[in-house]
Amino acid sequence: MSTVDIVVVVHNHAQTLGATLAAVAAQSVPPRRVVVVDNASTDGSAALAEDAGRSLPLELVRWPENRGFSAAANEALRRGREPWVLALNPDCRLAPDYLERLVAAGADHPRAGSITGLLMRAHGAELAPADRVDSAGMVVAASGRHLDRASGRQLRRRWERPAWVFGVSGAAALYRREALDDVAYPAGEVFDETFFAYREDADLAWRLQRRGWGSLLWPAARAWHERGLKPEMDRRGTPEINRHSVRNRFLLRWSNADWRWRLACFPWWLIRDLVVAAACLTVERSSAPALGEAWALRRQQRARGEANASRALVSGWRVARWFLPGGRVRRVRA
């Protein structure tokens, strides 16, 4: 019997959702259940998911309004209890053995709270393979930025080696249910719903690190992702995306960074903060409201930060090493 639940959050993804669900149906280790939460799509995504349910153990949840990725993902997570759960984007196609390989890797590495295969870029409605890397794990910098390792670059051998990384991209992330339960906020809030969308996977990665759960890159498993907002696009996303990104940058740190991290990574995070604020007030004024939104939420997020710090099993100094040069990727020892 399968030990994996899959959660998919959809908002107007009809173009690629069919290829995503077809790849799920072709898995060598089929999922126990697939929960699709439709966030008020207007392009027929919900109907497409319903049709796919004929060949999958699929449960469709329709929401009349877009409540954001985090809230939808949490709703899907509450509907399953298998030991493993895959968070899957509706523009991502899995290789047939993706689940099989990652679950086997998780069995061999019991402190892996999250695991990802090597994600490559995809294009078109069928999510055809492209020749560039999408994500070889999530890495972080002293400025507080989180980045998809090797994103947009030609594949190299070093990215095909298993490695411990800071976190995993939420596009095709396998999570150990025990780890998610360990870091969840009250009422089963695994993904912080204050974030609405963007950076919520980095927030979860940070919380997992502080509780001693590792994040594992297992490149023998492959998936192909048609990323909407590519890192090489810099700030050329929509105003809404940029606004959420700016606001959540500050929420992320207030929820996770203690004084040890701030001292270890000073002054890089402060310089980056000043650059972001200056950009919002000059060249990207559509993001200026994000600064006020973040400020209004500061007490709530700092309270969460204090709660996270009180439960931390890993020192802030140790977590900070991931953000400093030389500590961003660690070899998996046999």
Which domains are assigned to the chain? 4-232 (3.90.550.10), 233-331 (no CATH)
Least confident range from 66-75, 128-137, 230-239: namely 230-239
The pLDDT of residue 234: 52
pLDDT at 192 over 70: yes
The pLDDT of residue 327: 81
The candidate with the shortest Cα–Cα distance to 231, out of 136, 115, 113, 92, is 136
Q: Taking residues 6-22, what's their average pLDDT?
A: 97
Q: Is 239 helix (H, G, I), strand (E, B) or coil?
A: helix
**Over pLDDT 90: what percentage of the chain?**
90
Least confident range from 38-52, 221-235, 236-250: namely 221-235
How far, in Å, CA of 181 to CA of 78, rounded?
11
Q: Taking residues 270-290, what's their average pLDDT?
A: 95
CB 189 within 8 A of CB 255: no
Residue type, 60: L
The pLDDT of residue 141: 96
Asked if the peptide bond before residue 219 counts as cis, ω within 30 degrees of 0, the response is no
The pLDDT of residue 236: 53
**Residue 233: which residues within 8 A CB-CB, separation 6 or more?**
none
**One-character DSSP codes across 45-88:** HHHHHHHHTTSS-EEEEEESS---HHHHHHHHHHT---SEEEEE
The pLDDT of residue 241: 87
The pLDDT confidence band at residue 1, using thresholds 50, 70 and 90, is: low
The pLDDT confidence band at residue 231, using thresholds 50, 70 and 90, is: low
pLDDT at 277 over 90: yes
Kindly report the average pLDDT of the chain as a whole number: 94
Within 10 Å of residue 262's Cβ, how many Cβ atoms?
16
The pLDDT of residue 197: 86
**Ranges assigned E (strand) in the chain:** 4-10, 33-39, 58-63, 84-88, 92-94, 112-123, 128-135, 138-140, 146-148, 163-165, 172-176, 214-225, 330-331
The candidate with the shortest Cα–Cα distance to 148, out of 241, 215, 248, is 215
The alpha-carbon radius of gyration of the chain (Å, integer) is 19
User: b/e for 110-132, b at 16 or more Cβ within 10 A?
Assistant: eebbbbbbbbbbbeeeebeeeee
Least confident range from 164-178, 227-241, 285-299: namely 227-241
Q: Is 154 helix (H, G, I), strand (E, B) or coil?
A: strand
The pLDDT of residue 147: 95
∠ CA 248-140-148, rounded to 5°:
85
Q: Taking residues 284-300, what's their average pLDDT?
A: 95
- Calculate the dihedral angle through the C-alpha atoms of 38, 20, 12, 245, rounding to the nearest 10 degrees: 90
Phi, psi of 51 (to 5 degrees): -65, -40
∠ CA 330-224-35, rounded to 5°:
95
